[in-house]
Structure 1
Amino acid sequence: MVKMVAVPVNSQISQHLENAHFYDAFQLNLAPCKRTALEIYLEVIAKTPSWISFLMALRNRAAPMFGLKDLGPLGNVQSCKPSTSYRVGDRVGIFTIHSMTDDEVILTDSDKHLEAKISVCKSLHGTANAVTVSTVVHVHNLLGHVYLFFVVPFHKRIVPSMLLQSESRTLH
């Protein structure tokens, strides 16, 4: 079961909450695993539901009309590239790796309108393992605020849906 939680204080992304215009976090309990945070992220985006891919395609088609960049598909990763070959600065789908440890990967995308950071953080939650996906957004201008207004309702459905979709297929 995915639940909305506070951004974990032990997560590096919590250092980016100051002056954020939006942030949230969703958590899913996991069976014990040795996968890194990046491996979990790659598994999650590899199972992107078709309805989310459709919404991303619509967003990308409309983006240039509003001065936004086409991000491409969310799960646009090289499936044959091993997770151990990714480095800070590498592009993974629509995001760039900002920082990376075994327990947390922070990915980012920014433009003149806003900066979004996504954290996938593994932790012990009671006696179980958990993965928490946190999002932090800093807006730079009016268009960023307008974009965020329209995207947040979808975001609040997309992140839990992707975690649930992946949990049922691979995260056990």
Structure 2
Amino acid sequence: MECIPDESKISSYATNAYFSDCFTSVTRYENQSALDIFLSIARKSPNWINFLMSLRNNIVSKFGLKNLGSLSDIEQYKSAIDYKVGDRVGIFTLHFNSHNEVILEDRDKHLNVKVSFYIEPNGNTARIYASTVVHVKNTLGKIYMLFVTPMHKLIVPSTLKALPKA
């Protein structure tokens, strides 16, 4: 695991966060946007991740938390240019979008979660930083994070493997 890049807009959200992490991968780069990269990853989400999301949704619904759906619940024919800030992008809401960084968010009364995909181009390759920042609002949010944190550390690196190798 590496640190969140200072140039990334999400780095400012990491201050006083209850949880933050960052994973990286080097991939072939053809000037695609950060949102293009996220959409590619989400659409190729492995079945075991979708199973875990389904399990999560069934369990947390008993405690009044919302059903997020599945990471792969992305409209198949919608491209990155079709999305505007405030739109739903699968399980997240689009919070910020530039060519080199996308920040997606999910907020409720327990947590504020922001996920960033930040691109650091280097010719025909790029380092992709997948960063997550969580601000917890109450005890239920802390309890939830006890269970989510270990799974998150498996899921994010696994999803980055879906990127084409450099």
| Paired residues for 1:142-157 under 5 Å | 142-157=139-154
The aligned residue for residue 105 of structure 2 is: 108
The answer on 1:6 being equivalent to 2:7 is: no
How far apart, CA to CA, are the structure 1 residues paired with 2:146 and 2:90?
Answer: 23
Q: Deviations over 1:110-167 (max 9, x none)?
A: 1000010000000146995211000000000000000001100000000000111x12
Do 2:111 and 2:137's aligned partners in 1 also have CA atoms closer than 8 Å? yes
Please, which runs of 5 or more residues in structure 1 have no aligned partner?
none
Task: Tell me which amino acid in the other structure corresponds to 2:152.
Answer: H
1:34 CA drift (Å): 0.9
Percent identity reads: 45
- Residue 70 of structure 2: which of 73, 77, 81 is its match? 73
1:31 CA drift (Å): 2.1
Task: Tell me which amino acid in the other structure corresponds to 1:116.
Answer: V
Size of the alignment, in residue pairs?
166
The answer on 1:37 being equivalent to 2:28 is: no
| Paired residues for 1:133-172 under 5 Å | 133-164=130-161, 166-167=162-163, 170=164
| Paired residues for 1:54-93 under 5 Å | 54-93=51-90
Counterpart of 1:66 in 2: which secondary structure? coil
How far apart, CA to CA, are the structure 2 residues paired with 1:30 and 1:87?
Answer: 26
* TM-score, reference length from structure 1: 0.92
* TM-score, reference length from structure 2: 0.95
Counterpart of 2:115 in 1: which secondary structure? strand
The aligned residue for residue 119 of structure 2 is: 122
Q: CA RMSD in A?
A: 1.6
Structure 1 stretches of 4+ with a deviation exceeding 6 A read none
Comparing 96-105 and 122-131, the one that deviates more: 122-131
Comparing 64-73 and 149-158, the one that deviates more: 64-73
